[in-house]
Amino acid sequence: QDTQEKDKTIPPERAEEAKLKAKYPNLGQKPGGSDFLMKRLQKGQKYFDSGDYNMAKAKMKNKQLPSAGPDKNLVTGDHIPTPQDLPQRKSSLVTSKLAG
Amino acid sequence: FLGAGGGNDIQWCFSQVKGAVDDDVAEADIISTVEFNHSGELLATGDKGGRVVIFQQEQENKTQSHSRGEYNVYSTFQSHEPEFDYLKSLEIEEKINKIRWLPQKNAAQFLLSTNDKTIKLWKISERDKRPEGYNLKEEDGRYRDPTTVTTLRVPVFRPMDLMVEASPRRIFANAHTYHINSISINSDYETYLSADDLRINLWHLEITDRSFNIVDIKPANMEELTEVITAAEFHPNSCSTFVYSSSKGTIRLCDMRASALCDRHSKLFEEPEDPSNRSFFSEIISSISDVKFSHSGRYMMTRDYLSVKIWDLNMENRPVETYQVHEYLRSKLCSLYENDCIFDKFECCWNGSDRQVEFFSLIVMTGSYNNFFRMFDRNTKRDITLEASRENNKPRTVLKPRKVCASGKRKKDEISVDSLDFNKKILHTAWHPKENIIAVATTNNLYIFQDKMN
C-alpha cells in the first residue's frame, strides 16, 4: 500500500519504463515492435561460409588466424571462423533423466 | 461432481516427482512440453534434447482405494535431432515444442511431436509375444544347416516380456520457413494445423508431401512487420474453425469454409487498451503465449505475461473474465526485461471434464516463477498459489498455499517479490482429462499432484 501511495500519479509500468530509459537512453523509439520480432524470426541464424573458410585455410596455412571476437555466434564477413569458433552441437543421444 | 466449489475445494497432494535431483541442469533436460492423452492413461513430456518420455498410469489397485494409479515410464525415444541447414546457415534446434496425442483407434497409440521445423507422427505399440520355433532358423537367428532339417515345424507365438516400441510413421517436413509454435489436431481426426511465426498450414495425417497454407501474415516488405503468430488451435467441435493469437494480444477466429486462404478473420478478439497506461512494455506483456478452447468450445482462454483472460466467442470487444497471475511483477518489468524473463512463454490449461458434467470448464491453471503455479476457480472467483518443490514430498499431505508479498510488511510464511527465483519457472502444466490429477513441469522435473481422496 505504501508503494501505491508514492506512485499515485505514475502507473507502475510507466515508472519501470522510466527506469529502463534511464539505463539505456538509446533504446529504440518504437516500443515492443519490429526489433524484437526480427530477432525472434532470426533465431538460430549462424553465419558460416564454408567457401571462405576453406579458402582461408588454404591461403593462411602458416599464418595465425585472427582470433574469435567476443560474440562467437555473429560470425560474418571478414572474420574467418575456425573449427574452434563454431559452437559445438551437444549430443543428447542419452536417455532422459525423467526415465531414469 | 468435479470441484463442487472448485479450485480451493480440491485438496492437492503431492503424488510423484520425476527427474534428477541435482541443481546442475543440463540444457537437454529442460522440459519443453507436457501432455496427457485423451484417456489420461498416458502422460508425455518433450525436452530440449529432442527426447520424448511417456509415462503410463498403473491400473488402480482395488484394495488401495485411497490412491489412484501411479505414473511409471512406459516408453522413451529420441524424437528429433539437431540439424544444420547449410543453405540458410540456420541451426535447427531439436527441442520439442509441442506434443499432441491422437485419440486411440486401435491397440497402438499415436502422437504428433514437433520441433521448430518438422512434425513427426509417432506410433507407440506394445509387443508382448513373439514367434518361436522357426523351421529354418535357430532361436538365436542363425540359419540351420539345411541338411539337418528333416521335419516341417510351424512357428507359434509365445509370450515375452512387454516391449514398447516407438516408430516414426510420418515425417511432415519442409513446410515452415519460420519457427513452429503450435500444432493442433482437428476434430475430424484426419487433419491438423501447424503454425509458425507468420504462417499456418493445414495437413492431412496421411499425406506428408503436401500441405495447404491457410494463413499468411508475412508482409510484402519485412520492414512493415508488426506482429507475429504466437499460438493456434482448432475448435473442439467445429472442424472448419480455428483461432490464432498474436504478439500484439489479439486473437483471430477463422473459418476455412469462407476462403482457401484465411487471411481475413471471421472474428477479431481484442481488448481495448487504456492509452494512459501505455508504456514501452505494453506490447511485450500483451503478447499471448497460449490459447486454449474450453471443452464446449463456447469459450477460449489466453495467457499473456501477467494474466489469463477468458473470452466468450460471441463477444469480440473484451474478455469476459481476467485473472491476474502475478500482478506484483508489473513494478519489476525493467529488470524482467533486462534478464529476458519478460519474454517467457507461459502456458495455461483447463480442468479436465467430468463425465457427468462434460462441458464445464471451471478451473484455470497456469504457471509462474519460483516454481509456483496458480489456479483460478471461475465459479467462486477464488484462487490459490501452490509450489512444486521436493520439500512438500509426503504423499497425501495437502499442499500448503503460498503467498507473495508485493510490498510493505511481509507476513510470516509469505515470500517477498525480491526473493522470488526467476530461474525457477513453471511454463508447462497439464490436467488429466477426466480426473483431478495434474502434471506440473519445473525446469527439469515433472511433478504429479492429485486430489486427496477421502
Query: What's residue B356's pLDDT?
Result: 47
Number of domains in chain B: 1
Nearest to A3 among B178, B247, B407 (CB): B407
Interface residue of B279, B282, B409 to substitute, partner A, most A CBs within 10 Å: B279
**pLDDT mean over B28-50:** 97
Q: Are B36 and B412 in contact (CB under 8 A)?
A: no
CB atoms within 10 A of CB B222: 12
Q: Which residues is B450 bridged to in the sheet?
A: B13, B437
Query: Using the 8-state DSSP alphabet, how is residue B430 labeled?
Result: E
Q: Which residues of chain A have pLDDT under 50?
A: 1-7, 32, 64-65, 67-72, 74-75
Which residue from A minimizes the CA distance to B48? A92
Name which residue leads in pLDDT, B341 or B222: B341
Q: Identify whether B145 is part of a domain.
A: yes
Q: How many Cβ pairs closer than 8 A exist between chain A and B? A: 144
Q: Which residues is B364 bridged to in the sheet?
A: B350, B376
Query: Using the 8-state DSSP alphabet, how is residue B240 labeled?
Result: T
Query: What's residue B22's pLDDT?
Result: 77
Cβ contacts of B92 on chain A, cutoff 8 Å? 44
Confidence at B263, pLDDT banded by 50, 70, 90: confident
Contact B89 A47 (CB under 8 A): yes
Cβ contacts of B18 on chain A, cutoff 8 Å? 98
**pLDDT mean over B285-307:** 96
Taking the C-alpha atoms of residue B109 and residue B99, their distance in angstroms, rounded to an integer, is 13
Taking the C-alpha atoms of residue B126 and residue A3, their distance in angstroms, rounded to an integer, is 60
Name which residue leads in pLDDT, B167 or B280: B167
Q: Identify whether B1 is part of a domain.
A: no
Nearest to A99 among B76, B90, B284 (CB): B76
Return the percentage of chain B with pLDDT > 70, whole number: 94
C-alpha cell at B111: 502422437
Contact B334 A17 (CB under 8 A): yes
Rg from Cα positions in chain A: 23
Contact B50 A92 (CB under 8 A): yes
Query: What's residue A31's pLDDT?
Result: 52
Interface residue of A24, A26, A92, A95 to substitute, partner B, most B CBs within 10 Å: A92
For B151, residues 6+ apart whose C-beta sits below 8 A from its C-beta are none
Q: Identify whether B2 is part of a domain.
A: no
Q: Identify whether A38 is part of a domain.
A: yes
Distance (Å) from the C-alpha of residue B190 to the closest C-alpha of chain A?
30
Number of domains in chain A: 1
The pLDDT tens digits of the residues spanning B147-197 come to 888 889 899 999 999 999 999 999 999 999 999 999 999 999 999 999 999
Q: Is B143 helix (H, G, I), strand (E, B) or coil?
A: strand
Query: What's residue B188's pLDDT?
Result: 97
Comparing CA positions, the residue from B417, B311, B421, B424 lying closest to residue B364 is B311
CB atoms within 10 A of CB B232: 24
DSSP B177-208: SS---EEEE-TTSSEEEEE-SSEEEEEETTEE
Q: Identify whether A49 is part of a domain.
A: yes
Which residue from A minimizes the CA distance to B198? A41
Contact B179 A44 (CB under 8 A): yes
**pLDDT mean over B370-386:** 95
Interface residue of B52, B91, B197 to substitute, partner A, most A CBs within 10 Å: B91
Total-model pTM: 0.87
Query: What's residue B249's pLDDT?
Result: 97
Q: Which domain holds residue A52?
A: 33-57
**Element spanning A55, H or E:** helix A50-59
- Render the burial of B325-362: b for 16+ CB within 10 Å, e for the rest: bbebbbbbbbbbbeeebbeebbbbbbbbbbeeeeebbb
Taking the C-alpha atoms of residue A6 and residue A23, their distance in angstroms, rounded to an integer, is 22
The pLDDT tens digits of the residues spanning B430-450 come to 999 999 999 999 999 999 999
Taking the C-alpha atoms of residue B157 and residue B134, their distance in angstroms, rounded to an integer, is 11
Q: What angle do CA B138, B143, B147 make, to 5 degrees?
A: 100
Please, is A34 exposed, middle or buried when counting C-beta atoms within 10 Å of its C-beta (0-12, 13-18, 19+)?
Answer: middle
Name which residue leads in pLDDT, B437 or B263: B437
Comparing CA positions, the residue from B379, B382, B384, B426 lying closest to residue B401 is B384
What ipTM was predicted for this assembly?
0.75
Tell me the residues of A at the B interface, defined by beta carbons under 8 Å apart.
1-4, 11-17, 19-21, 23, 27, 31-34, 36-38, 40-41, 43-48, 50, 89-90, 92-100
Taking the C-alpha atoms of residue B165 and residue B103, their distance in angstroms, rounded to an integer, is 18
Name which residue leads in pLDDT, B359 or B211: B211
Q: Identify whether A46 is part of a domain.
A: yes
Contact B331 A92 (CB under 8 A): no
Q: Which domain holds residue B131?
A: 10-449
Residue with cell 522510466: A18
The pLDDT tens digits of the residues spanning B199-234 come to 999 999 999 999 999 999 999 988 889 999 999 999
Which residue from A minimizes the CA distance to B83? A89
Distance (Å) from the C-alpha of residue A8 to the closest C-alpha of chain B?
13
Query: What's residue B315's pLDDT?
Result: 98
The pLDDT tens digits of the residues spanning B16-35 come to 999 999 778 899 999 999 99
Nearest to B27 among A2, A34, A90 (CB): A90
CATH number of the domain at B208, please: 2.130.10.10
Query: What's residue B219's pLDDT?
Result: 93
Query: What's residue B304's pLDDT?
Result: 98
Contact B330 A12 (CB under 8 A): yes
Return the percentage of chain B with pLDDT > 90, whole number: 76
The pLDDT tens digits of the residues spanning B113-128 come to 999 999 999 999 999 9
Q: Is B351 helix (H, G, I), strand (E, B) or coil?
A: coil
CB atoms within 10 A of CB A38: 12
Cβ contacts of A75 on chain B, cutoff 8 Å? none
Q: Are B246 and B228 in contact (CB under 8 A)?
A: yes
Q: Is it the case that residue B1 has pLDDT exceeding 50?
A: no
Query: What's residue A45's pLDDT?
Result: 73
Taking the C-alpha atoms of residue B250 and residue B220, their distance in angstroms, rounded to an integer, is 21
Q: Are B367 and B425 in contact (CB under 8 A)?
A: yes
CB atoms within 10 A of CB A8: 8
